[in-house]
């Protein structure tokens, strides 16, 4: 596998499948209308870690640092992502997916906080320009009470079709992945000079 886009889609689908298997837990979290971003991060890590032996995922890391990816540490509040997954090393530069999750739910949808989070995550991910890579923002939009969440638009095309999880007893979770790299067609950035 040498295509960073295909690899990123595989990582995204692996995470989505894990979340779909946890639909009852998701429903309880959505009903509470409280942040559950840390839960999402851990479940995404576990999804990829469990597939590591049987699927071409390697070097699965939770809360990877941006400095480990060559980004200068000029702000200690911006130095960690949520998930990093490496692809198979075929003797060349192998693929990577570096992801951050953004949660939009009934408890935070009213204000503009989620939009500020989109901008902040995008700014961080744009600092990555390394390897054959995907810098993913995975947006998790959740709504309970038999409502479908408003699909949160963003000014970039999604990596693949959104993944919809109907919740038992009502409500929906929609996951959408965006590759935030400045030029998603670039799969390898050579150092200048």
Give tens-digit pLDDT for 31-69. 888 889 999 999 999 999 998 877 778 889 999 988 777
Integer CA distances (angstroms), 153 to 57, 147, 165, in order: 30, 18, 18
Q: How confident is the model at residue 78 (pLDDT cuts 50, 70, 90)?
A: low
Q: How confident is the model at residue 182 (pLDDT cuts 50, 70, 90)?
A: low
| SS3 call for 156 | coil
pLDDT of residue 102: 92
| SS3 call for 103 | strand
- Edge-to-edge order in the sheet of strand 163-166: 58-62, 83-86, 95-104, 132-143, 172-179, 163-166
Give the number of other CB atoms < 10 A from CB of residue 143: 21
Quote the pTM value. 0.85
Span 116-161, pLDDT tens digits: 888 888 888 888 865 567 889 999 999 886 555 555 555 678 889 9
């Amino acid at each position: 596998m040498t295509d960073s886009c295909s690899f990123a889609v595989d990582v995204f689908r692996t995470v989505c499948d894990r979340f779909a298997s946890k639909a009852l837990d998701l429903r309880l979290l959505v009903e509470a209308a409280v942040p559950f971003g840390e839960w999402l991060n851990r479940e995404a890590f576990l999804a990829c870690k469990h597939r590591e032996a049987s699927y071409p995922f390697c070097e699965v890391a939770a809360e990877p640092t941006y400095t480990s990816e060559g980004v200068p540490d000029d702000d200690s509040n911006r130095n960690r992502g949520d998930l990093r997954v490496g692809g198979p090393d075929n003797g060349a530069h192998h693929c990577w997916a570096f992801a951050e999750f953004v949660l939009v739910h009934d408890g935070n949808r009213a204000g503009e906080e989620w939009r500020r989070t989109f901008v902040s995550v995008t700014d961080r991910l744009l600092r990555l320009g390394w390897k054959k890579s995907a810098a993913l923002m995975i947006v998790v939009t959740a709504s309970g009470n038999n409502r479908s969440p408003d699909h949160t638009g963003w000014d970039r095309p999604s990596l693949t079709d959104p993944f919809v999880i109907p919740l038992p007893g009502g409500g929906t979770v929609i996951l959408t992945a965006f590759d935030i790299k400045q030029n998603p067609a670039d799969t390898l950035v050579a150092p200048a000079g």
